[in-house]
Chains A and B, each alone.
Chain A
């Protein structure tokens, strides 16, 4: 069945250090992988995404990498700041025929310590 595993569930880093969150998906037909940041009491906010024809994408301090063969994708945040503290969710989506839904990972609670 469709499944996205996300690790770690919690992550604490010192301000200025890097944070890495990893996800593994099961549906080989998935071809779009967004990452969302959710702050307390708010809805998930799309922060970066990657499509299966790309191996890496970067936007300022955040980057996402994708290994299609291993069905892994990761979020990298460099030079972390206290405002990066939030819950981060990865998701996998297939845009070919069949199921049209985002399958989310279980989330990673990131704490950036000042």
Chain B
């Protein structure tokens, strides 16, 4: 049973465009929602994270939008660059737990 559902599975964006990756969850006990970026042969690296009391968080070109009532959150990458080409994972942590549930990943390709 997938605790966090992620879409799309793959995404191709032109350089300079906006990349949008979506995630949805059912468990209302989730209280921390990070996004990770993974390059081939490397482990995931924390990109940005949000808590459910905030509707949006921005760090540079990366923005998380959070809709608590819809139990959805998304990652927006503005001015996408070829160097952003990687696999992106959303994740969630349940209150009181010390592990993350990851989505299935989105492979982003930014075309020059």
Real complex partners, A and B? Answer: no
Interface residues of B (CB under 8 A from A): none
